[in-house]
Structure formats: C-alpha cells, structure tokens
C-alpha cells in the first residue's frame, strides 16, 4: 500500500503527527507533577534548588511538545534529553539504587526506567524521519506561550499554598500548608508544642519522659535508639526502674529496621502526614509534666542520659547540632555524681534516685 506523506500513514494506518510528542509530554507532566508534590511536602532534603529546576525544565519541555512548537527541533532536543536520562538511570541501576527518582515518591526500578527511556529514544529516531515532522519553527508558538503561562501560574499557586509552616515556641502554627519547620531549642522551659500534633499523647502530659523525635530511615536516629535500648536493657538486667522513653515518628512513616530494637519504649506518631523539618535529627527532648527541661541531639561518644535536671541549671543548646568540641565539661557535683549534666561522657547507665523516677 502507498505511504501518504501528508497524514503520515503507514500500511494504510494513519498515525497522528502529534501522537508521539503528546505521549512524551504526558509522561513528563506526570513525572514533574509527582516531583512537585514531593517537593512541596518537604520530602526533598538535598539539593532542593536543583530539584526545583529539574521540575520546571520538565514542565517547559512538556508544554513545548504538547503545543507543537518548533516540532522538529523540540523532538530532537527531547531525544537528547532522554539520552541523558538513560545515562543517569543506568548509573543508578549499576550502583544498586532501588528507585531511579524519576517519578518523585513513586518507586520505580532503574532498569525498568532505562528500558522506557530506550524505547522513547528509538521512537524519536523513527519519528524524525517522518515527512510531517518538518514544520515551521513559529508553528504552535501561541499555543506554547499560553500553555506554558497556565502551567507556570498553576505551579506558582501550588508553591504558595504549600509553602512551609513554622511552629512557634508557644504552640502556634503560622505559614502555609507545606512542611512544618520547628526549632526545638527554643522550646526550653515551655509546654511541649508537639503535644497537639502527636497521636494519643495523653500519657506525655504527666511524669518525666525522654522523647526521641526520629525518622525511620535516619542512620543517626537508628544509632541513638539502639544506644537507648542498650541502657534500658541493662536496667532490666539489674532490676532497676525503667524511665519512660517515647519514640515519636515523623512522616513519611515506616518501620524501623529489625536490628533497631524498641521493646522497652513507647511508640508514638504524628497525627498528619505533613513533613517536619527540625534543624537536626534525632531530637532528644526531656520533659517533666509536659514542660521541656532540655533539648539535644545525638553526639557520638556522649550519652544524653535519662535524668531531668532542674530548669534553673540547664544551659540552652544552640539551634545547630551539637558536637563534642562545643560542649563544656560539666563541673563535678559535690556528691560525685554527673548525671545532672545535659550530656555525660560515660556510656554506662545513669543511676536514678527516688525523685528522678518516672511517675
């Protein structure tokens, strides 16, 4: 059968001239939309500016493909882009990544994505040989401008609506509907602002607690939980009273690895799936009857301890993660005990007296 150049039909079957560009445009819109959702929820913690630039680039390219603007140049440029995508996915696959990261929070095996990129590149190589690909550069310019304007305005509105919120020390939440930014060191001496965001937080309002604010995939959080569990286990072996420890998980939720035991701790979660952005993780908070008595983070080689010192003797921590070099050596107590210091050097379990026992 004859090949019709105007319609691009092959073997009597008509192929729409914009079929492949529209298909690629839809794929790019989906990928950019998923990445934008992850970005607005605060799920991107490394190189956020590069991540946002990648989203905008995919939105612009998709708009150009969908509008038919400079079809010949755009489709060829798209082929080069997917060639770069192919190289990145193969590199991630060879390094054993479980997801290519092309679709934001949706996990896709890099080998599957590399096959998809390869098929798109081959389709583009076939498509550019079609006669109807050669179109004037100005064709579709108006549609491209209108479509891109709508897409960028919609992206701007979404980013404004999901801008970060800030949790103040008095418990007020101000800002947008995006991730929640907090500064735990500013909570010292005040009612714990997290209370109303924690599911079933009733037991935390009374007694003495050590609260560990953690993310299940955070290596430092896992290491600190293991350390706390070891101290609790030693107390069990010596038949000593156990202090109350609350593990408060922040989104995205998930299970801790099997090598991180938590059998002697109380498990809590945040009420909503909004992401939290503390200045450091894990966040270690000592509270007494709901009032914050000290705040810290994991310091390798040092032990935070279970005891809660009086409010008048506690030094506030800076908003940055603490390091061994920045800590002052605690002055020796008259009684010879050092468990009243915010951080003690010994990794041995600290001794409780009667007034320090959890109620």
User: Does one domain contain both 329 and 189?
Assistant: yes
What does the pLDDT read at residue 1?
40
- Specify the DSSP element, H or E, that contains 74: helix 71-94
Same domain, 319 and 227: yes
Q: Are 255 and 202 members of one domain?
A: yes
Q: Domain range spanning residue 186?
A: 165-356
Please say which residue of 113, 146, 161 terminates a domain: 161
Q: What are phi and psi of 99, to 5 degrees?
A: -140, 145
Count of CB atoms situated within 10 Å of the CB of 62: 26
Listing DSSP states for 174-221 in one string gives EE-SSPEEE-GGGGTTSB-GGGGGBTT-GGGGSSEEEEEEE-TT-HHH
Longest dimension (CA), the chain: 101
Asked whether the predicted pLDDT for residue 82 surpasses 80, the reply is yes
pLDDT at 199: 92
How far, in Å, CA of 192 to CA of 331, rounded?
Answer: 28
**Are 177 and 107 found together in one domain?**
no
**Residue 110 sits in the same domain as residue 239:** no
If asked whether residues 25 and 119 sit together in one domain, one would say yes
Q: Look at 37 and 350; give whichever has higher pLDDT.
A: 37
Per-residue confidence band for 312, with pLDDT thresholds at 50, 70 and 90 = very low
- Asked whether residue 70 falls in the same domain as residue 189, the answer is no
**Distance between CA atoms of residues 150 and 63, nearest Å:** 10
Q: Residue 186 falls within a domain, yes or no?
A: yes
Question: Which residue, chain included where needed, has tokens 């079929």?
Answer: 19
Residue 273 lies in a domain: yes
Same domain membership, residue 171 and residue 144: no
d(CA 66, CA 151): 12
Q: What is the pLDDT of residues 284-298, one digit of tens each?
A: 999 999 999 999 888
Give just the sign of the alpha carbon dihedral 194, 195, 199, 204. Answer: positive
| Residue that is last in its domain, among 161, 187, 212 | 161
Quick one: 193 and 260 in the same domain?
yes
Question: For residue 270, what are the β-bridge partners?
Answer: 198
Contact status, residue 66 vs residue 147, Cβ threshold 8 Å? yes
Among the listed residues 171, 260, 174, the one whose alpha carbon sits nearest the alpha carbon of residue 215 = 260
Domain count, the chain: 2
Q: What are phi and psi of 286, to 5 degrees?
A: -95, 130
Per-residue pLDDT of 216-256, as tens digits, reads 989 999 999 999 999 999 989 988 888 899 999 998 888 99
Query: What whole-number percentage of the chain has pLDDT above 70?
Result: 77
Would you say residue 173 lies in a domain? yes
In 3-state terms the chain splits into helix, strand, coil percentages (rounded to 5) of 40, 15, 45
Q: How far apart are CA 241 and CA 313, in angstroms?
A: 25
Last residue of a domain, one of 109, 144, 161: 161
Give counts: helices (H), strands (E), the chain: 6, 9
Q: Which of 315, 316, 203, 319 is nearest to 266 (CA)?
A: 203
What's 255's DSSP letter? P
Question: Given this model, what pLDDT does residue 158 score?
Answer: 82
Q: What is the CA radius of gyration of the chain?
A: 28
Dist CA 31 CA 105 (whole Å) = 10
Is 87 inside any structural domain? yes
Q: What is the phi/psi pair of residue 138, to 5°?
A: -75, -10
Q: Is 285 exposed, middle or buried (0-12, 13-18, 19+ CB in 10 A)?
A: buried
What is the percent of the chain with per-residue pLDDT over 90, rounded to a whole number?
30
In a shared domain, residues 114 and 203? no
């Amino acid at each position: 059968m004859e090949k019709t150049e105007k319609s691009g039909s092959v073997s009597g079957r008509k192929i729409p001239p914009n079929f492949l560009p529209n298909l690629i445009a839809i794929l790019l819109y989906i990928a950019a939309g998923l990445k934008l959702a992850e970005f607005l929820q605060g799920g991107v913690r490394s190189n956020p500016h590069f991540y946002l630039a990648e989203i905008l680039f995919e939105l612009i390219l998709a708009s150009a493909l969908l509008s038919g603007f400079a079809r010949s140049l755009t489709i060829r440029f798209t082929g080069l882009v997917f060639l770069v995508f192919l190289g990145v996915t193969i590199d991630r696959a060879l390094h054993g990544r479980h997801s290519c990261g092309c679709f934001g929070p949706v996990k896709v095996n890099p080998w599957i994505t590399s096959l998809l990129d390869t098929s798109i590149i081959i389709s583009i190589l076939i498509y550019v040989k079609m006669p109807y690909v050669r179109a004037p550069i100005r064709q579709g310019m108006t549609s491209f401008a209108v479509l891109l304007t709508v897409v960028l305005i919609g992206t701007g509105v979404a980013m404004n609506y999901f801008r970060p919120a800030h949790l103040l020390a008095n418990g007020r939440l101000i800002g947008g509907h995006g991730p929640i930014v907090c500064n735990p060191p500013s909570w010292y001496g005040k009612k714990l602002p997290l209370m109303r965001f924690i599911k079933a937080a009733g037991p935390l309002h009374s007694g003495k607690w050590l609260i560990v604010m953690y993310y299940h995939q955070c290596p430092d959080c896992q290491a600190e939980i293991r350390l706390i569990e070891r101290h609790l286990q030693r107390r069990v072996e010596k038949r000593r009273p156990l202090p109350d420890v609350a593990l408060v998980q922040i989104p995205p939720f998930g299970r801790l690895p099997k090598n991180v035991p938590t059998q002697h701790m109380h498990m809590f979660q945040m009420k909503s799936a909004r992401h939290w952005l503390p200045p450091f993780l894990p966040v270690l908070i000592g509270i007494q009857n709901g009032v914050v008595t000290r705040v810290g983070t994991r310091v390798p080689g040092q032990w935070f301890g279970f005891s809660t010192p009086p409010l008048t003797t506690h030094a506030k921590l800076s908003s940055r993660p603490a390091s061994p070099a920045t800590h002052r050596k605690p002055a020796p107590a008259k009684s010879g005990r050092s468990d009243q210091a915010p951080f003690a050097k010994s990794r041995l379990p600290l001794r409780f007296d009667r007034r320090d026992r959890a109620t």
